[in-house]
Structure 1
Amino acid sequence: MYDVVTKYGTPYIINHLRGDISTMSKLTTYEETKDKDLQVFTKANNQPAMLINEVSKELCQCITKMTEKGVKRWQIILDPGLGFAKNLDQNLDIIRELPLFKKYSQLNTATGEFLSFEHIPLLLGPSRKRFIGKITGKDIASDRVNGTSAAVTACIGYGSDIVRIHDYKEMKDACLMADAIYKGIR
């Protein structure tokens, strides 16, 4: 896929995921990994920050593979993967810690490769996710429109540049209001 992205110069969304659809719900344990060659500039002084760092490290592995294939930084859109190998609290932590995620940077001292997420567009896809259903008591995904609206507003408020949604007509107003309130865009 990276060869195609390079050839056509298209944007590419890197979505964080562990395992696959059948295994990801069992892969929600995040622990601080140590790599003597990796210097992370975002300090993980609590569980949410550690989660952000670990997700970010895994995304950086993808970015390294992409750039080795010729994908340019301007083509990359980051998605920390709400609902993908994350439990309810981890999904909420990712939304709350978006400012930290957007500032993530690391240096591989062995290779000299420096990676930073600053100025890379950030996408979140909270639409109809199971964590919204657990909080609101809505088992049917299509009944989660109001909860999705609140989540979309929070995503924009905490710094998401792009939101992925299902219910365009309903979410348009939430996006317009969140952009006006949090970003001064109207």
Structure 2
Amino acid sequence: SIIMHMKGTPQTMQQNPSYEDVVSEVMAFLRERIAEAVEAGLPEEFIIIDPGVGFGKTVSHNLAIIRELADFKAIGRPILLATSRKGFIGKITGVQQASERVEGTAATVALGIANGANIVRVHDVREMTRVARMADAVARGV
């Protein structure tokens, strides 16, 4: 099971999202949801965490999560990073067409893996498989 952070609802999540410390707050949310899931009977080893890049976060929040992704390893669960073609990539690169955000996605995938992502969700599978293999080789010597 994947536990993902999202502030608000899909209808309200991008209406002025604010955090004192986005990484700490997202980590606290994930820890609480893991505890609830385990208490409800889900074995902890079946849980994957997703910090929810793009869900109730500003560009700065998304970048902080990717930059500080290694902090999430303290939770002790595999980390899924889903940045593929997201709007924050378009805002930074100026690429409006989501399907054209391949290079920006590649950068976030490589940095995410270098910073501890175990799983990446992507649209451009062939290209990102190559990026992931290279990032893994550099980061982990695989």
Which residue identity lines up with residue 82 of structure 1 in the other structure? V
TM-score by length of 1: 0.74
Which protein is bigger by CA-based radius of gyration?
A: 1
Contact persistence 1:17–1:84 (CA under 8 A): yes
For residue 19 of structure 2, the aligned residue among 15, 20, 30 is: 30
Q: Tell me, which stretches of 5 or more residues in structure 1 are unaligned?
A: 1-11, 32-49, 104-116
The number of aligned residues is 142
Aligned to 2:3: 14
1:106 aligns with none
Pick aligned residue for 1:159 from 68, 92, 116: 116
Aligned residue in 2 for 1:52: 23
TM-score (norm 2): 0.95
Pairwise CA RMSD: 1.1
Q: Quick one: which amino acid aligns to residue 19 of structure 2?
A: Y
1:19 touches 1:27 (CA, 8 Å); kept in 2?
no
Quote how far apart the aligned CAs of 1:61 are: 2.2
Superposition deviation, residue 29 in structure 1: 0.7
User: Which runs of structure 2 are paired with 1:1-150 in the superposition (5 Å)?
Assistant: 12-26=1-15, 28-31=17-20, 50-103=21-74, 117-118=75-76, 120-150=77-107
Gaps in structure 2 of 5+ consecutive residues: none
Q: Please identify which structure carries the higher strand content.
A: 1
Percent identity over the alignment is 46
TM-superposed CA distance for 1:165, in Å, is 0.4
Distance apart, 1:27 and its partner CA: 5.1
Deviation larger for 51-60 or 90-99: 51-60
CA distance in 1 between counterparts of 2:8 and 2:22 reads: 17
Cα displacement (A) at 1:101: 2.1
Residue in 2 that maps onto 1:172: 129
